Amino acid sequence: MRPAASLVPLRFLRAAIAAGVAAWAPPAAAIEQPGVTAVPVLQVPMGTRALGMGGAFTAVASDPSALYYNPAGLSLLSAHEFDAAFLAGQADNFHQQFAYAGPVPYGGIAGEGYSSVGAGVLYSRDGAIEVNELASDGTLLRTRTINAGYDVVGAIGYAERVGSTPVDTPKQAYNFNHFVGVAGKGIYSSLAEKYSATAWAGDAGYLMQCPELGLSLGLAALNVGSRLRYTDSSDPLPTSFRLGAAYNLKPAPLHDLTVAADGDYLYYDRLWHASVGMEYFWNRNFGFRLGYQFNRQTLGITAGLGMRWKGRFSIDYAWALGNTASDTHRVTLGYRFGGVIRASRGQSRRPFVEVSPGQESLPVSQEIAPAKEPARPRPRPSPKDDRPSGVPGWIY
């Protein structure tokens, strides 16, 4: 007697029906429709620093996780950086992320410098589920455990400065730098070891930064792309729009404090979120983060710690309070190398001036020494000249 096909658990069936109904709903419906989009891992706060700050990272975005918040932030990196992140705690889900980002010696399309690239791979596993197989007479034949599903997201991005707006006042001159960035994503998703689908998405971001005021403003449109189709029906990606602001101040030479606020809107889900966060570093080596997320069901209070060693190695930890006993924990290990002085990044035709990581922000007067003209060779003295000839030979 031949067994019937494996039955997908009821919760998956309900989710599929809800997604199908949502797909026929008018796009302009002004009602919340949570859970209608695919690849939910794209809604999980990426980056340990960002999670510790409650996700208020759109205007900060100064590490490889900028790929998932605001690709324009890649221009803020002044060294090459590799990150390996691990997240656990949301039920039996598990996430891994590997990313690289850093500056490149290219003047940029606009010729304003600060060009950077980034790339990352995200792997998310959804745990296991039990599937009941029934015989033709409806009786239970057997129960087996299968992989509930997994997602793989590959991303690559590019950013550069497109201009600078100087503003002169009687007391001080200010420079408002404008950065833009774009990123592309390829997504592969598997469900219940039986269904699979692929999709493509693009991101775009803008970042304005004024170093003299310590202010920055960020805008981003994320996950704009094709739909994810498993069988006959398809689900949209979690397209979102983000707006953020940040303020950095240094109350003392060894103290560095950043406060930030973000808001994001999920287009298809008709949901909004808001978050606030802060990051404090002492002596550029020991950091503490705190944040809060509004209008989220699974995350609220967040906190984090960070440590830097010799300007090259870093370890960051973040914790987020969930609505169950299963809180979220994320750890990122980082390695930095090939630091580039920021002043040299703004020169579109001058090669990078490389320094050890952690020394990228030297005073401008020390960053780039004026170029010296090569000394011209002095002619040899004539044999008839009886005066002292000075240093013999050619002088270089």
* Higher-pLDDT residue of 365, 298: 298
Domain annotation covers residue 383: no
- How confident is residue 140, by pLDDT bands cut at 50, 70 and 90? confident
Of 51-55, 231-235, 241-245, the poorest mean pLDDT is in: 231-235
Exposed / middle / buried, residue 114 (Cβ in 10 Å: 0-12, 13-18, 19+): buried
Q: What is the pTM of this model?
A: 0.78
**pLDDT for residue 264:** 94
Domain annotation covers residue 268: yes
* Higher-pLDDT residue of 245, 366: 245
Domain annotation covers residue 384: no
Residue matched to tokens 């997201």: 153
CATH number at residue 228: 2.40.160.40
Distance between CA atoms of 79 and 62, rounded to whole angstroms? 11
Distance between CA atoms of 17 and 23, rounded to whole angstroms? 10
Q: Please, what sign has the CA dihedral across residues 186, 205, 177, 357?
A: negative
State yes or no: pLDDT of 1 exceeds 60: no
Question: Domain span at residue 283?
Answer: 10-362
pLDDT in tens, 258-303: 999 999 999 998 999 999 999 999 998 999 999 999 987 766 899 9
Residues written for the chain: 396
Domain annotation covers residue 374: no
Domain annotation covers residue 394: no
Average pLDDT estimate for 88-99: 76
* Higher-pLDDT residue of 208, 364: 208
Total tally of structural domains belonging to the chain: 1
pLDDT in tens, 324-339: 445 788 999 999 998 8
Distance between CA atoms of 29 and 211, rounded to whole angstroms? 42
State yes or no: pLDDT of 18 exceeds 80: no
Going by C-alpha positions, the residue among 50, 40, 142, 53 that lies closest to residue 91 is: 40
**pLDDT for residue 31:** 47
**pLDDT for residue 35:** 61
pLDDT in tens, 154-201: 999 999 999 999 999 998 999 999 999 999 999 999 887 788 899 999
* Higher-pLDDT residue of 213, 145: 213
State yes or no: pLDDT of 17 exceeds 70: no
- How confident is residue 60, by pLDDT bands cut at 50, 70 and 90? very high
- How confident is residue 26, by pLDDT bands cut at 50, 70 and 90? very low
Going by C-alpha positions, the residue among 166, 162, 178, 127 that lies closest to residue 148 is: 127
**pLDDT for residue 41:** 83
Domain annotation covers residue 392: no
Domain annotation covers residue 3: no
Domain annotation covers residue 120: yes
**pLDDT for residue 376:** 53
Q: Which long-range contacts (CB under 8 A, 24 or more apart) does 145-149 make?
A: 146/192, 146/193, 147/190, 147/192, 147/193, 148/191, 148/192, 149/125, 149/189, 149/190, 149/191, 149/192
